[in-house]
Amino acid sequence: MANLVVALDYPDASAAVQMARALQGTGAWVKVGLELFTKEGPAVVCAMRELGLPVMLDLKFYDIPNTVHGCVRSACSLGVNLLTLHIQGGERMIRAAVAGADEAVAAGCCRPLLFGVTVLTSMGPGEQPGIEEDLSVFAAQLAGKGAAWGLDGVVCSGHEVQAIKRVCPQLRCLTPGIRPAEGKQTDDQRRTMTPEQAVAAGSDFLVVGRPITKAVNPAEAARSILHAMDTALVEGAV
């Protein structure tokens, strides 16, 4: 059963907490990203945890191994359930991140899932600097490396999930770029999918921002996406 993660891309905590309250009881996770965390810091993560919502901390760490090691340890101390980092940071950086999480667990923290970003879903063909090949092929190659280096999952487009799961069936996939109805507004996303398509492809976490946060009734929009996810058939399942 896939999880829905609602991206709280807000400029301050009051709007984010209001949205989080509306989502209580739906079963959705919340995602604290760069915009919100840069303004409000760890307090906003604690506020989400106090509301009982599982938190994905989406800061996409990408730095030298020593710095990422410390970032991951600090993130673990906030009690987040999932955090992100760029696989393009390389093997030493990823292994340092895993070691940071292990150290935090030894110090009494809960271990969050570590997810590596492959290629941003806002990138279209030819837009990833230095990459001439098909973005899906590149994303699958990065995912394989992330799995070998100890990651629990990857952030990828829904279009890449099947190829990634064929090579690394144990790797969990988290897919942003979800848009409830095909042909509708995609905003700045390029490689989009409907919730039904993403679940059918085998995605484990669906990240949805604006289609929920800009809806007239966000809780209803979240419930409707959760319903679509529930009724979607995972390809290959009976």
145 in active site: no
Comparing CB distances to ligand C5P, the nearer of 104 and 197 is: 197
Comparing CB distances to ligand C5P, the nearer of 33 and 112 is: 33
| Stretch in the footprint of ligand C5P (CB under 6 A) among 85-93, 103-111, 132-140, 202-210 | 202-210
Q: Which of 114, 117, 161, 201 binds ligand C5P (CB under 6 A)?
A: 117
Q: Does 182 bind ligand C5P (CB under 6 A)?
A: no
Q: Does 176 bind ligand C5P (CB under 6 A)?
A: yes
Closest Cα partner for 84 from 18, 153, 139? 153
Q: Does 3 bind ligand C5P (CB under 6 A)?
A: no
Instruction: Give the footprint of ligand C5P on residues 36-75 (CB under 6 A).
Output: 58
What token pair was written down for 202? Answer: 């085998």
Strand 205-208 relative to strand 29-33: parallel, antiparallel, unpaired? unpaired
What token pair was written down for 104? Answer: 């935090």
Q: Does 209 bind ligand C5P (CB under 6 A)?
A: yes
Encode burial over 78-117: b for 16+ CB neighbours within 10 A, e otherwise: bbbbbbbbbbbbeeebbbbbbbbbeebeeeebeebbbbbb
Distance of alpha carbon 20 from alpha carbon 2, whole angstroms: 19
Q: Which helix (H) or strand (E) holds 229?
A: helix 218-231
User: Residues in the site for ligand C5P, rule: CB under 6 A?
Assistant: 7, 9, 33, 58, 117, 120-121, 155, 176-177, 187, 189, 207-210
